[in-house]
Amino acid sequence: MNGVTAVSPKLPTKKDKPKERLYTIEEYLAMEENSLVNHEFDNGKLIPMAGGTPPHSEIKASIVMVLGILARQSKKSCRVFNSDIRIHIPTFNKGVMPDAVVVVGKANFSIEHPVGLLLNPTLIVEVLSDGSESYDRGEKFARYRTLPSFEEYVLVSQNAPRVETFVKQNGRWFINETAEGLDAKVELVTLGIKMPLKEIYWNVSIGEEKPGKRTKKK
């Protein structure tokens, strides 16, 4: 072979895979200001937010509207935010987007930026979907609980008129109540108000919840 040594082609390895770009919080907020797609921030990674179903979107809109009206009637000074708000969870270096948030008192933000990251949510609402329910009940709730200001968690079903609330008392979390049916009202302890389920589900087309989709309480 005229002294020529055959060289085997180099096979790609895991080390050759390009590293995923990681962003700072400042870079994330700057990009979100002009982005056509909302993202959550996960320790440097940008997670695009998927769109919801029409019932999911209608319920979210109704909740923000009803909370806004009732907050004005509350004896407490409240600020209501929709799903565009981003909450900063420093313990996990995350920026997440809940479906609705209420702050009792002054709203504080971590960075002076048009988008901003909310630091002190009092009440957080998540509308459950089949794909997000286990995450909202488990990992996401656990991360929210690292926020000192967080005192009430509201989970709203998109499959049936049912709302569950969890409240923090003396540093411990408890199930406050489960309100079911369009004639029911759910008490929001931190705001001192009751929210009618018929207002949350007004004009929303929902079917019976599938038994297999229900999450067992522990």
| pTM above threshold 0.85 | no
pLDDT of residue 185: 97
Question: DSSP secondary-structure letter at 209?
Answer: P
Tell whether 29 is covered by a domain.
Answer: no
Residue 41 β-bridge partners: 46, 95
Query: Amino acid identity of 145?
Result: R
Tell whether 1 is covered by a domain.
Answer: no
Tell whether 188 is covered by a domain.
Answer: yes
193's CB contacts (< 8 A; 6+ apart) are 70, 71, 73, 74, 187
Show pLDDT as tens, one digit a residue, over the chain (218 residues): 455 555 555 555 555 566 778 988 888 888 888 887 888 888 888 888 776 788 999 999 999 999 999 988 888 899 999 999 999 999 999 999 999 999 999 999 987 777 889 999 999 999 998 888 999 999 999 999 999 999 999 999 999 999 999 999 999 999 999 999 999 999 999 999 999 999 999 999 875 444 333 333 43
Tell whether 181 is covered by a domain.
Answer: yes
Question: DSSP secondary-structure letter at 118?
Answer: B
Tell whether 117 is covered by a domain.
Answer: yes
| CATH code where residue 117 lies | 3.90.1570.10
Tell whether 11 is covered by a domain.
Answer: no
Angle at 75 between CA 69 and CA 76, to 5 degrees: 85
Residue 102: closest CA among 127, 88, 131, 82: 82
Can you tell me the distance from the alpha carbon of 102 to that of 81, in angstroms, rounded to the nearest whole number? 6
Can you tell me the distance from the alpha carbon of 5 to that of 55, in angstroms, rounded to the nearest whole number? 68
- What is the domain count for the chain? 1
Can you tell me the distance from the alpha carbon of 198 to that of 182, in angstroms, rounded to the nearest whole number? 5
pLDDT of residue 76: 87
Can you tell me the distance from the alpha carbon of 133 to that of 52, in angstroms, rounded to the nearest whole number? 13
Range of the domain at 74: 53-209
Can you tell me the distance from the alpha carbon of 181 to that of 41, in angstroms, rounded to the nearest whole number? 36
40's CB contacts (< 8 A; 6+ apart) are 46, 47, 49, 86, 94, 95, 96, 97
Question: DSSP secondary-structure letter at 109?
Answer: B
Tell whether 146 is covered by a domain.
Answer: yes
Sign of CA dihedral 64, 67, 73, 74: negative
Tell whether 156 is covered by a domain.
Answer: yes
